[in-house]
Structure 1
Amino acid sequence: MEQRRVGRTGLTVSSLGLGTMTWGRDTDEHEAADQLTAFVDAGGTLLDTAASYGGGAAEELLGALLGDRVDREDVVLCSKAGVRRRPGGPGVDASRGNLLDTLDATLARLNTDHLDLWLVQAPDPVTPLEETVSALAHAVRTGRTRYVGLSNHPAWATAQAATLLAAERTGLAAVECEYSLLERGIEREVVPAADALGFGVLAWSPLGRGVLTGKYRRSVPADSRAASPHLRGFVEPYLTERAHGVVEAVATAAEGLDRSTLEVALAWVRDAAPVASAVVGARTAAQLRGALKAVDLDLPPAIRAALDDVTAPMLGYPERR
Structure 2
Amino acid sequence: MGTYVASEDRYETTEYRRSGDSGLHLPRLSLGLWQNFGADRDQENQRRILRRAFDLGVFHFDLANNYGPPPGAAEENLGRALAEDFAPYRDELVITTKAGWVMGPGPHQRGGSRKYLLSSLDRSLARMGLDHVDVFYSHRPDPDTPLEETMGALHHAVVSGRALYAGISSYGPAATREAARIMRELGTPLTVHQPSYSMLNRWVEGGLLEAAADEGMGVVAFSPLAQGVLTPRYLGGEVPPDSRAGVGRPSWRDNMLSEEVLERARALDAIASERGQTLAQMAISWVLRDQGPRTVTTALIGASSVEQLEQNLAALDSPGFSDEELRRIDEWAVDSDVNIWSGATASRP
Tell me, yes or no, whether TM beats 0.5: yes
CA contact (8 A) 2:104 2:110 kept: no
- Whether the 8 Å contact between 2:200 and 2:333 is mirrored in structure 1 is yes
- Distance change >3 Å, CA 90–CA 164, structure 1 → 2: closer
Query: Structure 1 residues 32 and 189 mapped into 2: Cα distance closer, same or farther (>3 Å)?
Result: same
Moved more, 137-146 or 78-87: 78-87
Give the CA deviation at 1:186.
0.8
Other structure's SS at 2:316 match: helix
Q: Once the 2 structures are TM-superposed, how far is the Cα of residue 173 of structure 1 from its aligned partner?
A: 0.8
Residues 1:52 and 2:66 aligned together: yes
Aligned residue in 2 for 1:284: 305
Does structure 1 residue 297 correspond to structure 2 residue 311? no
Counterpart in the other structure of 1:226: 245
Q: In structure 2, how many angstroms separate the alpha carbons of the residues matched to 1:254 and 1:14? A: 23
Q: Distance in 2 between matches of 1:61 and 1:261?
A: 30
SS, match of residue 136 in structure 2: strand
CA RMSD of aligned residues (A): 2.0
Match of 2:271 among 247, 253, 258: 253
Asked if the contact 1:210–1:235 (Cα under 8 Å) also holds between the matched residues in 2, the reply is no
Distance 1:29 1:313, change over 3 A: closer
Partner of 2:18: 5
- Tell which deviates more after alignment, 282-291 or 82-91: 82-91
**Counterpart residue number, 1:41:** 55
Give the aligned partner of residue 64 of structure 1. 80
1:190-269 alignment runs, 5 A limit: 190-218=208-236, 219-231=238-250, 234-269=252-287
* One-letter amino acid matched to 1:13: L
**Conserved? CA contact 2:183–2:189, under 8 Å:** yes
CA drift of 1:7 comes to 1.2
* 1:225 positional shift: 0.8
Q: Which residue of the other structure, out of 299, 308, 315, is the alignment partner of 2:330?
A: 308
Q: Which amino acid aligns with 1:14?
A: P
> Residue 19 of structure 1 aligns with which residue?
32
Q: CA deviation at 1:120?
A: 0.7
Task: Give distance in 2, aligned partners of 1:87 and 1:136.
Answer: 23
Opposite residue 139 of structure 2, the aligned amino acid is Q
Match of 1:319 in 2: none
Distance in 2, matches of 1:143 and 1:35, equals 29
Give deviations 1:124-159, integer Å, cap 9, x for gaps: 121111000100111111111111111111111111
Q: Structure 2: which amino acid aligns with 1:308?
A: D
Alignment partner of 1:94: what SS?
A: coil
Choose the corresponding residue for 1:108, options 105, 110, 126: 126
- In the TM superposition, what is the alpha-carbon distance from 1:49 to its structure 2 partner? 0.4
CA distance in 2, matches of 1:2, 1:136: 29
1:157 aligns with 2:162: no
Mapped partners of 1:196, 1:313: distance in 2:
25
Q: In 2, distance between residues paired with 1:89 and 1:30?
A: 36
Question: Residue type of the partner of 2:241?
Answer: A
Residue aligned with 1:66, SS: helix
Structure 2 residue aligned with 1:119: 137
Indicate the SS of the match to 1:178: coil
**Residue identity (%):** 36
Q: Could you tell me how far apart the structure 1 residues matched to 2:260 and 2:52 are? A: 34
When residues 168 and 88 of structure 1 are mapped into structure 2, their CA distance, relative to the original with a 3 A threshold, is: closer
SS in structure 1 opposite 2:240? coil
Q: Is the 8 A contact 1:92 1:123 kept in 2?
A: no
The 5 Å alignment of 1:79-98 reads 79-87=97-105, 92-98=110-116
Residue type of the alignment partner of 1:303: E
- Once residues 30 and 281 of structure 1 are traced to their aligned partners in structure 2, the CA distance between those partners, rounded to angstroms, is 16
Deviation of 1:298 after TM superposition, in Å, equals 2.5
**Partner SS for 1:126:** coil
For residue 211 of structure 1, report the CA deviation from its aligned partner: 0.7
Of 27, 45, 48 in structure 2, the residue corresponding to residue 31 of structure 1 is 45
CA distance in 2, matches of 1:294, 1:143: 36
Please give the alpha-carbon distance, in whole angstroms, between the structure 2 residues aligned to 1:149 and 1:7: 11
TM-score, length-scaled by structure 2: 0.84
| Contact 1:36/1:69, CA 8 A, preserved across alignment | no
Sort the Cα spacing of 1:208 and 1:194 in 2 relative to 1 into closer, same or farther, 3 A: same
User: Deviation of residue 312 (structure 1)?
Assistant: 4.9
Structure 2 letter corresponding to 1:64: R
The range that moved more, 86-95 or 272-281, is: 86-95
Letter in 1 for 2:31: L
Rate the CA distance shift 1:30–1:90 in 2: closer, same or farther, 3 A.
farther
Distance in 1 (alpha carbons) for counterparts of 2:199 and 2:290:
11
Distance of 1:220 and 1:25 partners within structure 2: 24
Q: Give the 3 Å change call, closer, same or farther, for CA 132–58 of structure 1 in structure 2.
A: same
- Amino acid paired to 2:243: S
The aligned residue for residue 318 of structure 1 is: none
Aligned partners of 2:198 and 2:224 also within 8 Å: yes
Instruction: Please report how far the alpha carbon of residue 230 of structure 1 lies from its aligned counterpart in structure 2 after TM superposition.
Output: 2.5
